[in-house]
Amino acid sequence: MSRTRHTESQFSLDLGDDTPVNKSAPDPNEAVDNSYHLASLANTEALLLQWQQAGWIRPLDTGFARLIRELSDEQGERTQPLVLLLAALTSHQVGRGHVCVDLATLLADAGNTLALPPEETGSRAITETPIPVPEATRPQDLLARFQLGDCLAALMGSVAVSDGSVTAPLVLNNSRLYLRRFWRYEQRIAEGIQERLALPSPLADPQSAAAQTLSQALDTLFPPTEPVDYQKLACALAARHRFAVITGGPGTGKTTTVVNLLAALQSMAGNDPHRAGRKYRIRLAAPTGKAAARLNESIGGAASKLPLAALPGDVHLDDIPTKVTTLHRLLGSRPDTRHFRHNRDNPLLVDILVIDEASMVDVDLMASVFDALPASAQLILLGDKDQLASVDAGAVLGELCQRAFEAHYTPDTASWLATISGTRIPAPLVDNSGLALDQAVAMLRKSYRFDQDSGIRQLAEAVNTGALTNHLLKHIRSAAFDDVIWLNGHAQQPDPEQTLDLIRSHAITGTPERFRNAGQGRMVNDKTLPSPVGYRHYLKVIHNPDLTADSPREAWDAHARSVIQAFNEFQILCALRKGPWGVEGLNQLIAQQLLAEKLIEKAEGWYAGRPVLITGNDYNLGLMNGDIGITFRVPWDKTAAGEPKTTLRVAFPSSDSVGGIRWISPSRLQQLETVYAMTVHKSQGSEFNHTCLVLPDRLSPVLTKELVYTGITRAKNWFSLITGDAQVFKDGVGQQVVRASGLALRLGER
Ligand SMILES: Nc1ncnc2c1ncn2[C@@H]1O[C@H](COP(=O)(O)OP(=O)(O)OP(=O)(O)O)[C@@H](O)[C@H]1O
């Protein structure tokens, strides 16, 4: 899932050719004639190189354009400069998470669509990094001369472009331009969903024996409570179709619902005379090790509370799986290839697959899931539609849930639900012209984790719905909520040095005194919540004088678990990677402060206590992008005289078994970074007792409503906000992620 997987070979794969891409590259120092930039191919390629050197586009993007030119040359066609330009920009957009480029949108507003100049250029107050791209040679300047018809005509006349029916590196579908590989992913996902939705359901007739069993199981699993129990409805809908999506915000009961759903499905299997008591083979998966471990923890607890004895069909606890694996492991990832062991020729042995945190799954991985699933297997996606989309291209869950809020259940679905669940759907959720997909999407609408007064809940909701009122902002500035504080919200443009000081002290202690009631004694659901703590906490837990060279490995494992748990109490999140407000600057700042307070022995390189985030999959070590480990000093080495000697080892929780620890030598770790600060993107699938979101002092395209919502909802109990500029926070939540893709359109076709 890492960006590093987008190698140049992705293009030659689709073409079935290994044409070297560096052949006859233009001289990057060649002067670009500004008045005729698209007049010649050489000029266009030199211009692309200039953008590449300015950091506007990737070498991969210029390489792709060159490949198109070479392919055309080989076929005796002279490529039009406009085709080269559009090829490079489509590749650039894929690198930014889009599945395709909608040419009409691109031409209407190229600057914003392409987000050029690039984001993350430092800080207004602290550094200023100019980007040396000459005036009048920006993509938006060039594209301003063209109409949609010009682009379509140029593309349709090129051998490098097809409508998908023949192999060509670019696919044009209406006004959407795709790299072929991504067009194929989207097509496979759409087909996988449509095929499943079209399969006849034994539950369609509410009087059938299967439907009666489902109804009985649902009544057992969901004691009557509110007028509309959306969890019960979600179970009924998901049971009815071979493809379903259950979406909901934090604590709305996605895990609880899916455990109930699995129990209901096993009830039906147990009562099905054709299955002779054989239960369904069910697998649970999540996109990252962290998300898998979190679901592992919660699902076991939820399963143990099931009223199994009262269910029809003789369901046992063993019938409900509680072990969650990563998607990569489930599909059988192999080193150095993005092809999985399980695919169409070697499908998974599974009847039902549940994928949690599905918002993190990109089109590439989702297409692989559909490839590996037997045609009749049921797929259930769980996730929060409002969270950030996947790091790599696509926003699959978001697209599938575009209409979830209004539901669009047909009168037929509404009447089926009323019979099966005894619940009458509210009229605004019924729509005569609901689509097939709408009938398989359920939204959970009530949070059980946060109480009515929770500031985290109210702030997250306000950010999500665009209702960030002055009243609410005043509340969070003045610590009127127990659980939320905007630490420097009183200053519109706070002094940068003072803000950095604030981040330093907050990172060390979590400054519980800044929360209302000093962060003490808050009870939620009859439980006293742990107080906010900073990084000092885990660096104290790491000192354990009782452990020696003779201590058994289990004792060290247990110690590592408690340190990792202590580290998870607090996390600083930020929007950017670079600059003083990004991961790089904040990591340095916090490490220096921990060193000054003598909590760590040095602030750079490897040291005991260093928390690290893995940034690329390492199949040999079994580490996945997003895994977090803590460095320990352990007495496991020996001197020449055979005396115990200390060495550093990084402890990682093992992703698939509960409680296991892998101890890895730092020298074996390849792609990693220190993780006192983490981007919100990387924090998806994780939750922390206390989260502090640091926002920069100027607006960036990455700073969006989805990013702020995701940052806030990573906090279980305490949330603090530090801003470089108050207006940037407000403007950021006004920006929305819109990813170009054709999936929803394909699924909307009747
Ligand atoms: N119908 C319900 N009645 C009472 N409590 C519930 C109900 N559903 C869920 N809960 C409780 O709410 C909490 C959150 O539930 P759950 O973990 O299922 O939600 P989730 O949506 O999976 O959460 P997350 O946002 O962490 O993914 C749990 O403590 C759970 O026991």
Determine the distance separating the centroid of ligand 1 and the alpha carbon of 448, expressed in angstroms.
6
pLDDT tens digits, 256-287: 999 999 999 999 999 998 998 899 999 999 99
Residue 518 has a pLDDT of 73
The answer to whether residues 740 and 93 touch, using CB atoms and an 8 Å cutoff, is yes
Output the residue whose Cα is nearest ligand 1's atom 12. 448
Structure tokens at 88: 């490079």
Query: pLDDT band at 530, cuts 50/70/90?
Result: confident
SS3 355: strand
Q: Given the CA of residue 252, which atom of ligand 1 is nearest to it?
A: 21
**Which stretches of 185-287 are assigned E, i.e. beta strand?**
243-248, 282-286
Residue 253 Cβ < 6 Å to ligand 1: yes
Task: Provide mean pLDDT across the span 98-123.
Answer: 81
Residue 445 Cβ < 6 Å to ligand 1: no
Burial 560-579 (b: 16+ CB within 10 A, else e): beebbebbbbbbbbbbbbbb
Residue 457 Cβ < 6 Å to ligand 1: no
Percent over 70 (pLDDT), the chain: 91
CB atoms within 10 A of CB 125: 19
Residue 119 has a pLDDT of 59
Would you say 660 is a known binding-site residue? Answer: no
Residue 31 has a pLDDT of 47
SS3 285: strand
Polymer length of the chain: 750
With a CB cutoff of 8 Å and minimum separation 6, the contacts of 555 are 547
pLDDT tens digits, 337-358: 778 999 999 999 999 999 999 9
| Distance, CA of 132 to CA of 351 (rounded, Å) | 56
pLDDT at 749 over 70: no
Determine the distance separating the centroid of ligand 1 and the alpha carbon of 422, expressed in angstroms.
22
SS3 573: strand
pLDDT at 526 over 80: no
Determine the distance separating the centroid of ligand 1 and the alpha carbon of 248, expressed in angstroms.
10
Would you say 254 is a known binding-site residue? Answer: yes
Mutation test of ligand 1: which of 222, 294, 443, 449 has the most ligand atoms closer than 8 Å to its C-beta? Answer: 449
Residue 13 has a pLDDT of 32
Task: Provide mean pLDDT across the span 524-540.
Answer: 87
pLDDT at 134 over 50: yes
Q: Which helix (H) or strand (E) holds 528?
A: strand 527-528
Strand order in 672-674's β-sheet? 661-664, 644-653, 628-638, 611-614, 672-674
Mutation test of ligand 1: which of 228, 235, 245, 255 has the most ligand atoms closer than 8 Å to its C-beta? Answer: 255
> How does the average pLDDT of the chain come out, rounded?
88
Helices (H), 454-609: 455-465, 470-477, 496-509, 536-541, 553-567, 583-596
Determine the distance separating the centroid of ligand 1 and the alpha carbon of 528, expressed in angstroms.
17
Residue 655 has a pLDDT of 60
Residue 67 has a pLDDT of 93
Query: pLDDT band at 610, cuts 50/70/90?
Result: very high
Residue 248 Cβ < 6 Å to ligand 1: yes
Residue 685 Cβ < 6 Å to ligand 1: no
Determine the distance separating the centroid of ligand 1 and the alpha carbon of 252, expressed in angstroms.
5
| Distance, CA of 127 to CA of 492 (rounded, Å) | 20
Would you say 313 is a known binding-site residue? Answer: no
Determine the distance separating the centroid of ligand 1 and the alpha carbon of 302, expressed in angstroms.
9
Helices (H), 137-229: 139-143, 148-156, 180-198, 209-221
The answer to whether residues 414 and 430 touch, using CB atoms and an 8 Å cutoff, is yes
Task: Provide mean pLDDT across the span 712-719.
Answer: 94
* pTM of the predicted protein model: 0.86
